[in-house]
Structure 1
């Protein structure tokens, strides 16, 4: 495989398994507002987008401020532990010790990401992080381009690692190679449509792929 220097990770679905909590919080929000409860398969189609975009796609637009507030209320109450995928901390430490520069680009809010990194005690592993408060959200390329510029790399030095079609589009829009994560929120056949350089079914596979 081509040599990369900068590895940019998605957060939800790539490093942390939050899909169960996300689905539960969305469904509780629907119940609270007396809306039809969206099917899990319908919710999963929107994974990778910002919460605002997900809610806009799933529920009536006129209630957006109230929907967003209620969703975050449910999500923050339940989000008392960070469920990192098995082997995530070990592989991140290995990659950092091997000389890779690590970063995060996520459509999660800055408050949520920083709190999660602090709780997981892994903030020190990342040279930089980027959220929608810092640049336009995925799939627009700005977050990825911002990280590349901030860390003084080039697109060809960079690999985006993510689990959704939004992550794949994000990388394509920034003209950066993408590695597709198949243990997260979208299936391999969905991810394949965006021509990632490879696929992984376990985060620990990065050790061999990036050697």
Structure 2
């Protein structure tokens, strides 16, 4: 694969590698009801997936005081943690990561999850060993700010032009554009196809299972 276009592939987590969109959106809606706020629509609850929790809640409910945001986040975490062990990886994710490692790619994760949540998810899914590095929203700026990608690029010593960001939301695609990297959208997650099409991307795939084939010949 000496002629490959990329050296580092960075994956979003929720809605890209793991089928968590419905649980996240539902937990946001339940949390809002718990604290007496208007329950967001499915579309709005899915829109914030990929953002850091505080940024997500601020987008949904602007103008709350810090105590209200904290209560909302605590209720969200309570509902999410009740069922997070039930979340399944999308089909062929493990096989994909194994194959990409064999092909010589560096692999990373850039996610809106907090560090503790991502570490727990990686442990439950037994995927940590496949990634060279990871970045979370509570360690740096939330998407679509480019800092997560820029830190991964610096740590793994890769040129931005040799990086592919793979995600299911406009936040992922915008982050890639802001960092000067390429992006590929998957349509199995939080944001609808027509919204994803509005942001810069090289291709759209139904899910990540076809990524290795695309890398070999679809570029």
Answer yes or no: is the 8 Å Cα contact 2:35–2:71 preserved in 1: no
Paired residue for 2:24?
22
Q: Deviations over 1:127-148 (max 9, x none)?
A: 0000123321111111101001
Alignment of 1:103-114 (within 5 A): 103-114=108-119
Paired residue for 2:126?
121
Counterpart among 192, 197, 202 of residue 202 in structure 2: 197
- Note the C-alpha offset of 1:170: 0.1
- Note the C-alpha offset of 1:202: 2.3
Alignment of 1:41-80 (within 5 A): 41-59=43-61, 61-62=64-65, 63-80=68-85
- Note the C-alpha offset of 1:100: 0.7
Q: Distance in 2 between matches of 1:82 and 1:181?
A: 18
Answer yes or no: is the 8 Å Cα contact 1:48–1:165 preserved in 2: no
- Note the C-alpha offset of 1:2: 5.8
- Segment of structure 1 superposing worse, 49-58 or 97-106: 49-58
Paired residue for 1:135?
140
- Note the C-alpha offset of 1:25: 1.0
Answer yes or no: is the 8 Å Cα contact 2:113–2:138 preserved in 1: no
Does residue 33 of structure 2 align to residue 31 of structure 1? yes
Q: Deviations over 1:93-148 (max 9, x none)?
A: 11111111100001110000000001100100000000123321111111101001
Answer yes or no: is the 8 Å Cα contact 2:16–2:207 preserved in 1: no
Q: Distance in 1 between matches of 2:171 and 2:74?
A: 24
Answer yes or no: is the 8 Å Cα contact 2:51–2:137 preserved in 1: no
What stretches of structure 1 of length at least 5 have no aligned partner?
Answer: none
Paired residue for 2:12?
10
Q: Distance in 2 between matches of 1:20 and 1:124?
A: 27
Answer yes or no: is the 8 Å Cα contact 1:181–1:200 preserved in 2: yes
- Note the C-alpha offset of 1:188: 2.1
Answer yes or no: is the 8 Å Cα contact 2:166–2:184 preserved in 1: yes
Answer yes or no: is the 8 Å Cα contact 1:7–1:159 preserved in 2: yes
TM-score (norm 2): 0.92
Q: Deviations over 1:146-173 (max 9, x none)?
A: 0011011110111000110000100000
Alignment of 1:128-207 (within 5 A): 128-207=133-212
How many residues are paired up?
211
Q: Deviations over 1:62-95 (max 9, x none)?
A: 2111111121122112212331111111111111
